[in-house]
Amino acid sequence: MAQKKKTQKKNEQLEKDKNILARSILKIGNVTFLFWHILAAVIVLVLAFIIYNNVNKEENGSVKYYHFKKEGELTFVDTTGHPIIKIDIEIADNDYERQLGLMNRENMEEMQGMLFIFSEEKYQSFWMFNTLFSLDMLFINSNKEIVTIQKNTTPLSEQSYPSSKPALYVLEVNAGFCDRHNIKLGDKVFWMETK
């Protein structure tokens, strides 16, 4: 009888040890699973950072700067239909060009601007990430009427500059351009591509 109790206690202890071992293996498995997921996420973030930085760098490692490329001419017209001023424009009409915008440019001449063309009219919002100089942003509806002007934006900022009404186009010019040339809400723009 004593031998039976001893064997029973031994079996109970073995069962407890098995349960403890199984729980330990499960915990180790969960920790390992979590570790590999965290490691994978870190690797993805590091690769994304490296790719982003290399896309905008020359082969020698310096930052790749872009230069103005004339693709059209744009005329501002006041509410009475009289022309105000004409500028040269670069056109951003695909996802890549719209995302790049005026980033990594050292400057832009007074009579130059970048016209962003979207596929649908909606509320738009821009920011100044990697943009080295201040801008005036003009949001323009499908009737080519200026509906919002964001003046003197902050360079290298992640601040959002939204339109107050739906816009199909956005024109970026040097900061102060609207004041210097008396460009106002309600004025219209017309352009001709020269690509």
More confident residue, 93 or 17: 93
Q: What per-residue confidence (pLDDT) applies to 46? A: 53
Beta carbons within 10 angstroms of residue 89's beta carbon: 26
DSSP H stretches of helix in 106-176: none
Name the one residue in this structure whose structure tokens are 């915008």.
101
For domain 72-193, give the fold: Jelly Rolls (2.60.120)
pLDDT band, residue 24 (cuts 50/70/90): low
Q: What per-residue confidence (pLDDT) applies to 4? A: 66
Q: What per-residue confidence (pLDDT) applies to 22? A: 62
Q: What per-residue confidence (pLDDT) applies to 134? A: 97
Beta carbons within 10 angstroms of residue 152's beta carbon: 13
More confident residue, 21 or 137: 137
DSSP 64: P
Q: What per-residue confidence (pLDDT) applies to 140? A: 98
Name the one residue in this structure whose structure tokens are 């330990």.
24
Structural tokens at position 3: 């031998």
Burial of 151 (0-12, 13-18, 19+ CB in 10 A): middle
Q: Which has the minimum average pLDDT: 26-35, 108-117, 140-149, 186-195?
A: 26-35
Nearest one of 149, 171, 144 to 161, comparing CA atoms: 149
